[in-house]
Amino acid sequence: MSDGKLVGIVLVSHSAEVATSVAELAKGLAGGGAEVPVAAAGGTEGGGLGTSAELIAGAAAAVDRGAGIAVLVDLGSAVLTVKALLAEGDELPEGTRLVDAPFVEGAVAAVVTAATGADLTAVEAAAAEAYSYRKV
């Protein structure tokens, strides 16, 4: 458990609409839990499809509550952008992790788990576990 601080969640998609919708879905499914800081970082600054290091860094700063930040991404170049930001060392808040998880299911699991006050390691594990969710 964290010390009352909640893990922040950043959802990075090539589409602003997708990132925002997944954030709304995950927060809605978290129900009456604590208010998890979630930010969508989708598309480019001009509103097009793609990823933006500036939008990602801004989203991470906005959700930083001192308990770490889980970053979930949709597609390959989003992974590369986040990895580049992490490699810079000072672009993202300390305790930011790129989480290997499916985008939608992982986001829901991350937000629901963060709402319980779980630490970053537990949030990351819950999101990653979403790979094993069976639908049929």
β pairing state of 38-42 and 8-13: parallel
Helices (H) and strands (E) in the chain, counts: 5, 4
Residue 96 structure tokens: 């930011």
Is residue 98 helix, strand or coil?
Answer: strand
Q: Which of 100, 76, 77, 96 is nearest to 88 (CA)?
A: 96
**Residue in 14, 41, 68, 112 annotated catalytic:** 14
Told to judge if 56 belongs to the known catalytic residues of this protein, a careful annotator would answer: no
What is the widest separation between alpha-carbon atoms in the chain? 43
Catalytic residues: 14
